[in-house]
A and B are shown apart, each in its own frame.
Chain A
Amino acid sequence: MSREKKEVFGRAEEFVALFSRGAEFTKQLLQENERLRGRLSTVEDRQNYAAQDNLEWEKLREELLARITGLENEKQGVMDRLRAVEEENRQFAGRYLEIEEENNNLANLYVASYQLHSTLDLSEVLKTIIEIVINLIGAEVFAVYVLDENTNQLSPVASEGKALPAFPRVPLGSGVVGESVASGETACGEALPSDDLARPIVCIPLRIEERPIGAIAIFKLLAQKDTFAPLDHELFALLAGHAATSIFAAQLYGQSERKLNTIQGFIDLLTK
Protein backbone atom coordinates (compact mmCIF):
# COMPACT_ATOMS: atom_id res chain seq x y z
CA MET A 1 0.00 0.00 0.00
CA SER A 2 1.34 3.40 -0.94
CA ARG A 3 2.22 5.92 1.71
CA GLU A 4 -0.58 8.28 0.61
CA LYS A 5 -3.20 5.55 0.96
CA LYS A 6 -1.92 4.66 4.38
CA GLU A 7 -2.25 8.30 5.44
CA VAL A 8 -5.81 8.48 4.04
CA PHE A 9 -6.83 5.31 5.96
CA GLY A 10 -5.15 6.61 9.05
CA ARG A 11 -7.09 9.89 8.85
CA ALA A 12 -10.33 8.00 8.21
CA GLU A 13 -9.78 5.91 11.37
CA GLU A 14 -9.15 9.07 13.36
CA PHE A 15 -12.46 10.57 12.06
CA VAL A 16 -14.37 7.40 12.93
CA ALA A 17 -12.92 7.40 16.43
CA LEU A 18 -13.79 11.10 16.82
CA PHE A 19 -17.38 10.55 15.64
CA SER A 20 -17.73 7.55 17.98
CA ARG A 21 -16.66 9.65 20.94
CA GLY A 22 -19.06 12.39 19.83
CA ALA A 23 -21.92 9.91 19.56
CA GLU A 24 -21.18 8.48 23.00
CA PHE A 25 -21.14 11.97 24.52
CA THR A 26 -24.43 12.90 22.82
CA LYS A 27 -25.99 9.70 24.14
CA GLN A 28 -24.87 10.57 27.68
CA LEU A 29 -26.30 14.11 27.32
CA LEU A 30 -29.64 12.74 26.17
CA GLN A 31 -29.76 10.34 29.12
CA GLU A 32 -28.97 13.16 31.57
CA ASN A 33 -31.60 15.33 29.92
CA GLU A 34 -34.16 12.55 30.29
CA ARG A 35 -33.30 12.08 33.96
CA LEU A 36 -33.66 15.82 34.68
CA ARG A 37 -36.95 16.00 32.81
CA GLY A 38 -38.24 13.14 34.99
CA ARG A 39 -37.09 14.92 38.15
CA LEU A 40 -38.71 18.20 37.07
CA SER A 41 -41.93 16.46 36.23
CA THR A 42 -42.02 14.79 39.71
CA VAL A 43 -41.43 18.15 41.44
CA GLU A 44 -44.11 19.85 39.29
CA ASP A 45 -46.58 17.05 39.99
CA ARG A 46 -45.94 17.37 43.70
CA GLN A 47 -46.36 21.16 43.61
CA ASN A 48 -49.59 20.90 41.59
CA TYR A 49 -50.92 18.29 43.96
CA ALA A 50 -49.92 20.33 47.00
CA ALA A 51 -51.51 23.48 45.52
CA GLN A 52 -54.87 21.74 45.62
CA ASP A 53 -54.53 20.48 49.17
CA ASN A 54 -53.80 22.85 52.09
CA LEU A 55 -52.41 20.10 54.28
CA GLU A 56 -50.06 18.89 51.57
CA TRP A 57 -49.07 22.51 50.78
CA GLU A 58 -48.23 23.10 54.45
CA LYS A 59 -46.18 19.90 54.52
CA LEU A 60 -44.23 20.97 51.44
CA ARG A 61 -43.69 24.41 52.91
CA GLU A 62 -42.35 22.94 56.15
CA GLU A 63 -40.07 20.65 54.21
CA LEU A 64 -38.71 23.62 52.27
CA LEU A 65 -38.27 25.70 55.44
CA ALA A 66 -36.47 22.79 57.11
CA ARG A 67 -34.26 22.51 54.04
CA ILE A 68 -33.52 26.28 54.17
CA THR A 69 -32.69 26.02 57.88
CA GLY A 70 -30.46 23.03 57.15
CA LEU A 71 -28.67 24.96 54.41
CA GLU A 72 -28.25 27.99 56.66
CA ASN A 73 -26.75 25.78 59.39
CA GLU A 74 -24.48 24.20 56.81
CA LYS A 75 -23.46 27.69 55.61
CA GLN A 76 -22.76 28.75 59.20
CA GLY A 77 -20.64 25.61 59.67
CA VAL A 78 -18.71 26.37 56.49
CA MET A 79 -18.21 30.00 57.58
CA ASP A 80 -16.96 28.85 61.01
CA ARG A 81 -14.59 26.42 59.35
CA LEU A 82 -13.38 29.17 57.01
CA ARG A 83 -12.72 31.46 59.95
CA ALA A 84 -10.89 28.65 61.75
CA VAL A 85 -8.78 27.97 58.63
CA GLU A 86 -8.01 31.69 58.26
CA GLU A 87 -6.97 31.85 61.91
CA GLU A 88 -4.87 28.72 61.44
CA ASN A 89 -3.25 30.36 58.36
CA ARG A 90 -2.47 33.48 60.39
CA GLN A 91 -0.89 31.34 63.08
CA PHE A 92 1.12 29.40 60.48
CA ALA A 93 2.30 32.68 58.89
CA GLY A 94 3.39 33.96 62.32
CA ARG A 95 5.10 30.68 63.11
CA TYR A 96 6.79 30.74 59.69
CA LEU A 97 8.24 34.18 60.44
CA GLU A 98 9.40 33.00 63.86
CA ILE A 99 11.09 29.94 62.35
CA GLU A 100 12.61 32.09 59.62
CA GLU A 101 14.08 34.41 62.24
CA GLU A 102 15.27 31.47 64.32
CA ASN A 103 16.84 29.99 61.20
CA ASN A 104 18.68 33.25 60.47
CA ASN A 105 19.85 33.50 64.07
CA LEU A 106 21.10 29.93 64.00
CA ALA A 107 22.94 30.69 60.75
CA ASN A 108 24.67 33.64 62.46
CA LEU A 109 25.61 31.50 65.46
CA TYR A 110 26.80 28.65 63.23
CA VAL A 111 28.96 30.98 61.12
CA ALA A 112 30.44 32.60 64.24
CA SER A 113 31.23 29.24 65.82
CA TYR A 114 32.58 27.78 62.55
CA GLN A 115 34.91 30.72 61.96
CA LEU A 116 36.18 30.74 65.57
CA HIS A 117 37.24 27.11 65.37
CA SER A 118 38.63 27.24 61.84
CA THR A 119 42.18 28.15 62.90
CA LEU A 120 44.79 27.53 65.60
CA ASP A 121 46.70 30.72 64.87
CA LEU A 122 46.12 33.20 67.71
CA SER A 123 46.25 36.28 65.46
CA GLU A 124 43.68 34.67 63.14
CA VAL A 125 41.44 33.80 66.10
CA LEU A 126 41.60 37.42 67.30
CA LYS A 127 40.86 38.64 63.75
CA THR A 128 37.81 36.37 63.64
CA ILE A 129 36.58 37.66 67.01
CA ILE A 130 36.92 41.22 65.71
CA GLU A 131 34.99 40.34 62.53
CA ILE A 132 32.19 38.75 64.55
CA VAL A 133 31.90 41.69 66.93
CA ILE A 134 31.85 44.22 64.06
CA ASN A 135 29.71 42.35 61.53
CA LEU A 136 27.34 40.30 63.66
CA ILE A 137 26.98 42.42 66.79
CA GLY A 138 27.60 45.82 65.16
CA ALA A 139 30.20 47.33 67.52
CA GLU A 140 32.40 50.26 66.55
CA VAL A 141 34.78 50.60 69.52
CA PHE A 142 35.86 47.51 71.45
CA ALA A 143 38.85 45.56 72.72
CA VAL A 144 39.71 41.92 73.33
CA TYR A 145 41.53 41.26 76.60
CA VAL A 146 43.57 38.18 77.50
CA LEU A 147 44.47 37.21 81.07
CA ASP A 148 48.12 36.86 82.04
CA GLU A 149 47.94 34.14 84.71
CA ASN A 150 51.30 35.13 86.20
CA THR A 151 50.33 38.72 86.94
CA ASN A 152 46.53 38.24 87.07
CA GLN A 153 46.22 41.21 84.74
CA LEU A 154 43.92 41.46 81.75
CA SER A 155 45.79 43.00 78.81
CA PRO A 156 44.23 44.28 75.59
CA VAL A 157 45.52 42.18 72.65
CA ALA A 158 43.27 43.38 69.82
CA SER A 159 41.05 46.39 69.32
CA GLU A 160 38.86 48.24 66.87
CA GLY A 161 37.86 51.89 66.74
CA LYS A 162 40.80 53.03 68.92
CA ALA A 163 44.49 52.13 69.02
CA LEU A 164 45.42 49.22 71.30
CA PRO A 165 47.52 51.31 73.77
CA ALA A 166 44.45 53.45 74.51
CA PHE A 167 42.84 50.56 76.37
CA PRO A 168 44.08 50.17 79.96
CA ARG A 169 45.32 46.94 81.54
CA VAL A 170 42.88 45.70 84.15
CA PRO A 171 43.56 43.63 87.29
CA LEU A 172 41.36 40.52 87.56
CA GLY A 173 38.42 41.22 89.85
CA SER A 174 38.72 45.01 89.55
CA GLY A 175 36.52 47.40 87.57
CA VAL A 176 33.75 46.42 85.17
CA VAL A 177 35.98 44.21 83.01
CA GLY A 178 37.91 42.59 85.86
CA GLU A 179 34.78 41.88 87.90
CA SER A 180 32.95 40.45 84.90
CA VAL A 181 35.83 38.05 84.12
CA ALA A 182 36.20 37.04 87.79
CA SER A 183 32.48 36.38 88.24
CA GLY A 184 31.81 34.96 84.75
CA GLU A 185 28.78 37.24 84.42
CA THR A 186 28.27 39.24 81.22
CA ALA A 187 27.91 42.93 82.06
CA CYS A 188 25.42 44.57 79.72
CA GLY A 189 24.23 48.15 80.11
CA GLU A 190 22.38 50.61 77.86
CA ALA A 191 23.37 50.71 74.20
CA LEU A 192 24.72 54.25 74.65
CA PRO A 193 28.39 54.94 73.81
CA SER A 194 30.88 55.12 76.67
CA ASP A 195 33.95 57.37 76.37
CA ASP A 196 35.40 55.95 79.58
CA LEU A 197 37.61 53.04 78.47
CA ALA A 198 37.37 51.56 81.96
CA ARG A 199 33.57 51.33 81.74
CA PRO A 200 32.40 49.37 78.70
CA ILE A 201 28.70 49.15 77.82
CA VAL A 202 29.11 45.39 77.40
CA CYS A 203 31.74 43.10 78.86
CA ILE A 204 31.70 39.46 77.80
CA PRO A 205 33.88 37.31 80.05
CA LEU A 206 35.77 34.61 78.17
CA ARG A 207 36.01 31.51 80.35
CA ILE A 208 36.45 27.76 79.99
CA GLU A 209 34.31 26.37 82.78
CA GLU A 210 35.77 28.12 85.87
CA ARG A 211 39.03 29.16 84.24
CA PRO A 212 39.14 32.83 83.16
CA ILE A 213 40.76 33.42 79.75
CA GLY A 214 39.97 37.04 78.91
CA ALA A 215 37.17 39.39 77.91
CA ILE A 216 35.59 41.33 75.10
CA ALA A 217 34.72 44.88 76.15
CA ILE A 218 32.44 46.93 73.89
CA PHE A 219 32.41 50.72 74.32
CA LYS A 220 30.41 51.94 71.34
CA LEU A 221 27.99 50.45 68.81
CA LEU A 222 27.73 51.41 65.13
CA ALA A 223 25.69 54.60 64.58
CA GLN A 224 22.83 52.68 62.94
CA LYS A 225 22.53 50.25 65.87
CA ASP A 226 20.65 51.73 68.81
CA THR A 227 19.63 48.69 70.82
CA PHE A 228 20.58 45.11 71.62
CA ALA A 229 18.52 42.39 69.93
CA PRO A 230 17.89 38.92 71.44
CA LEU A 231 20.41 37.53 68.92
CA ASP A 232 23.11 39.79 70.40
CA HIS A 233 22.70 38.13 73.80
CA GLU A 234 22.96 34.71 72.14
CA LEU A 235 26.14 35.87 70.41
CA PHE A 236 27.52 37.13 73.74
CA ALA A 237 26.90 33.67 75.22
CA LEU A 238 28.46 31.95 72.19
CA LEU A 239 31.53 34.21 72.28
CA ALA A 240 31.90 33.70 76.04
CA GLY A 241 32.47 29.98 75.53
CA HIS A 242 33.73 29.53 71.98
CA ALA A 243 36.07 32.52 71.77
CA ALA A 244 37.61 31.42 75.07
CA THR A 245 38.16 27.87 73.78
CA SER A 246 39.62 29.17 70.50
CA ILE A 247 42.04 31.55 72.24
CA PHE A 248 43.07 28.86 74.73
CA ALA A 249 43.59 26.24 71.98
CA ALA A 250 45.60 28.70 69.87
CA GLN A 251 47.77 29.65 72.89
CA LEU A 252 48.41 25.96 73.68
CA TYR A 253 49.17 25.22 70.04
CA GLY A 254 51.60 28.16 69.88
CA GLN A 255 53.36 26.97 73.07
CA SER A 256 53.60 23.39 71.83
CA GLU A 257 55.00 24.60 68.49
CA ARG A 258 57.67 26.62 70.29
CA LYS A 259 58.55 23.67 72.57
CA LEU A 260 58.70 21.34 69.59
CA ASN A 261 61.10 23.69 67.81
CA THR A 262 63.31 23.88 70.93
CA ILE A 263 63.39 20.09 71.31
CA GLN A 264 64.08 19.70 67.60
CA GLY A 265 66.95 22.19 67.99
CA PHE A 266 68.44 20.12 70.83
CA ILE A 267 68.09 16.88 68.86
CA ASP A 268 69.76 18.49 65.84
CA LEU A 269 72.57 19.76 68.08
CA LEU A 270 73.14 16.31 69.59
CA THR A 271 72.92 14.30 66.40
CA LYS A 272 74.97 16.55 64.10
Chain B
Amino acid sequence: MQQHRILIVEDSPTMRQLLVFALKRIKGAELIEAQDGMDGLRKVTSDHFDLALVDINMPVMDGLKLISLIRVEESLKEMPIVVITTEGAKEDRERALSLGADEYLTKPIQANRVLSVAKSMLKIE
Protein backbone atom coordinates (compact mmCIF):
# COMPACT_ATOMS: atom_id res chain seq x y z
CA MET B 1 0.00 0.00 0.00
CA GLN B 2 1.27 3.45 -0.93
CA GLN B 3 2.20 5.65 2.02
CA HIS B 4 1.19 9.32 2.07
CA ARG B 5 2.96 11.49 4.60
CA ILE B 6 0.84 14.53 5.46
CA LEU B 7 1.96 17.41 7.67
CA ILE B 8 -0.72 19.37 9.56
CA VAL B 9 0.54 22.77 10.71
CA GLU B 10 -2.13 24.26 12.98
CA ASP B 11 -1.94 25.87 16.43
CA SER B 12 -5.43 24.84 17.53
CA PRO B 13 -5.51 21.31 19.02
CA THR B 14 -9.23 21.15 18.19
CA MET B 15 -8.59 21.80 14.50
CA ARG B 16 -5.63 19.42 14.43
CA GLN B 17 -7.74 16.63 15.89
CA LEU B 18 -10.52 17.35 13.43
CA LEU B 19 -8.14 17.32 10.46
CA VAL B 20 -6.58 14.07 11.68
CA PHE B 21 -10.09 12.59 11.88
CA ALA B 22 -10.83 13.63 8.31
CA LEU B 23 -7.50 12.63 6.75
CA LYS B 24 -7.22 9.30 8.57
CA ARG B 25 -9.68 8.04 5.99
CA ILE B 26 -7.00 8.18 3.28
CA LYS B 27 -5.51 4.71 2.99
CA GLY B 28 -1.83 4.69 3.90
CA ALA B 29 -1.94 8.21 5.35
CA GLU B 30 0.68 9.01 7.95
CA LEU B 31 -0.28 12.23 9.73
CA ILE B 32 2.28 14.37 11.48
CA GLU B 33 1.24 17.41 13.49
CA ALA B 34 3.07 20.70 14.00
CA GLN B 35 1.76 23.35 16.42
CA ASP B 36 3.10 26.49 14.74
CA GLY B 37 4.97 27.69 11.66
CA MET B 38 8.42 27.19 13.17
CA ASP B 39 7.60 23.64 14.27
CA GLY B 40 6.20 23.03 10.78
CA LEU B 41 9.36 24.36 9.11
CA ARG B 42 11.56 22.14 11.28
CA LYS B 43 9.53 19.08 10.40
CA VAL B 44 9.14 19.79 6.70
CA THR B 45 12.86 20.41 6.19
CA SER B 46 14.00 17.36 8.14
CA ASP B 47 11.71 14.77 6.58
CA HIS B 48 9.82 13.98 3.38
CA PHE B 49 6.13 14.94 3.09
CA ASP B 50 3.68 14.41 0.25
CA LEU B 51 1.32 17.18 1.38
CA ALA B 52 1.17 20.01 3.93
CA LEU B 53 -1.96 21.58 5.39
CA VAL B 54 -1.15 25.00 6.81
CA ASP B 55 -3.13 27.46 8.93
CA ILE B 56 -2.36 31.17 8.47
CA ASN B 57 -2.82 32.74 11.92
CA MET B 58 -0.34 30.96 14.19
CA PRO B 59 2.04 32.06 16.93
CA VAL B 60 5.87 32.09 16.52
CA MET B 61 5.66 31.96 12.71
CA ASP B 62 2.52 32.43 10.62
CA GLY B 63 1.44 30.24 7.73
CA LEU B 64 2.28 32.73 4.97
CA LYS B 65 5.88 33.04 6.18
CA LEU B 66 6.10 29.26 6.37
CA ILE B 67 4.82 28.86 2.80
CA SER B 68 7.31 31.42 1.46
CA LEU B 69 10.19 29.65 3.26
CA ILE B 70 9.07 26.25 1.99
CA ARG B 71 8.96 27.49 -1.61
CA VAL B 72 12.52 28.81 -1.35
CA GLU B 73 13.79 25.27 -0.69
CA GLU B 74 14.54 23.57 -3.99
CA SER B 75 13.54 20.12 -2.69
CA LEU B 76 10.16 21.38 -1.43
CA LYS B 77 9.09 23.36 -4.49
CA GLU B 78 6.79 20.58 -5.72
CA MET B 79 5.21 19.64 -2.39
CA PRO B 80 1.49 20.55 -2.48
CA ILE B 81 0.37 23.02 0.19
CA VAL B 82 -3.25 23.52 1.24
CA VAL B 83 -4.09 26.56 3.34
CA ILE B 84 -6.89 26.19 5.90
CA THR B 85 -7.81 29.50 7.49
CA THR B 86 -10.49 31.77 8.91
CA GLU B 87 -9.36 34.53 6.51
CA GLY B 88 -12.00 34.50 3.80
CA ALA B 89 -11.13 37.72 1.94
CA LYS B 90 -10.20 37.52 -1.73
CA GLU B 91 -6.88 39.33 -1.19
CA ASP B 92 -5.86 36.83 1.53
CA ARG B 93 -6.55 33.97 -0.87
CA GLU B 94 -4.62 35.65 -3.69
CA ARG B 95 -1.68 36.40 -1.40
CA ALA B 96 -1.46 32.78 -0.19
CA LEU B 97 -1.73 31.42 -3.73
CA SER B 98 0.88 33.89 -5.03
CA LEU B 99 3.28 32.76 -2.29
CA GLY B 100 2.99 29.18 -3.47
CA ALA B 101 -0.07 27.59 -1.86
CA ASP B 102 -1.90 25.17 -4.16
CA GLU B 103 -5.36 25.33 -2.59
CA TYR B 104 -7.13 27.67 -0.16
CA LEU B 105 -9.89 26.46 2.16
CA THR B 106 -11.76 28.61 4.66
CA LYS B 107 -13.07 27.68 8.11
CA PRO B 108 -15.38 26.33 9.31
CA ILE B 109 -14.15 23.38 7.32
CA GLN B 110 -16.19 20.58 5.77
CA ALA B 111 -14.40 17.28 6.40
CA ASN B 112 -15.53 16.02 2.97
CA ARG B 113 -14.04 19.02 1.20
CA VAL B 114 -10.71 18.67 3.03
CA LEU B 115 -10.63 14.97 2.21
CA SER B 116 -11.38 15.48 -1.48
CA VAL B 117 -8.82 18.30 -1.82
CA ALA B 118 -6.15 16.22 -0.03
CA LYS B 119 -6.91 13.23 -2.29
CA SER B 120 -6.70 15.38 -5.38
CA MET B 121 -3.33 16.86 -4.23
CA LEU B 122 -2.03 13.36 -3.52
CA LYS B 123 -3.41 12.21 -6.89
CA ILE B 124 -5.56 9.52 -5.30
CA GLU B 125 -8.74 8.53 -7.14
Cβ distance B12 to chain A, nearest Cβ, rounded Å: 5
Q: Do the beta carbons of B13 and A107 come within 8 Å of each other?
A: no
CA distance A129 to B98 in the complex (A): 33
Q: Do the beta carbons of B86 and A222 come within 8 Å of each other?
A: yes
Q: Do the beta carbons of B112 and A104 come within 8 Å of each other?
A: yes
- For residue B48, CB closer than 8 A to chain A, the reply is no
Cβ distance A137 to chain B, nearest Cβ, rounded Å: 6
> Using Cβ atoms and an 8 Å threshold, which residues of chain A touch B13?
115, 128, 131
> Using Cβ atoms and an 8 Å threshold, which residues of chain B touch A101?
112
Q: Give a binary string over A118-142; 1 marks a CB under 8 Å from any B CB, 0 the rest.
A: 0000000000100110111110100
> Using Cβ atoms and an 8 Å threshold, which residues of chain B touch A131?
12-15
Given contacts A131-B12, A136-B108, A222-B107, contact A114 B86 (CB under 8 A): no
Q: Do the beta carbons of A135 and B89 come within 8 Å of each other?
A: no
Q: Which of A136, A137, A224 contacts B88 (CB 8 A)?
A: A224
Cβ distance B102 to chain A, nearest Cβ, rounded Å: 19
> Using Cβ atoms and an 8 Å threshold, which residues of chain B touch A107?
18, 21-22, 111
Taking residues whose C-beta sits less than 8 angstroms from the other chain, chain A's interface range is 20 to 34
Q: Which residue of A lies closest to B108 (CB)?
A: A138
Q: Do the beta carbons of B111 and A104 come within 8 Å of each other?
A: yes
Tell me which residues from 79 to 125 in chain B have a Cβ below 8 Å from any Cβ of chain A: 86, 88-89, 106-112
Q: Do the beta carbons of A222 and B17 come within 8 Å of each other?
A: no
- For residue A194, CB closer than 8 A to chain B, the reply is no
Tell me which residues from 198 to 223 in chain A have a Cβ below 8 Å from any Cβ of chain B: 222-223
Q: Do the beta carbons of B108 and A137 come within 8 Å of each other?
A: yes
Residues of A at under 8 Å CB distance from B?
A: 100-101, 104, 107-108, 110-112, 114-115, 128, 131-132, 134-138, 140, 222-225
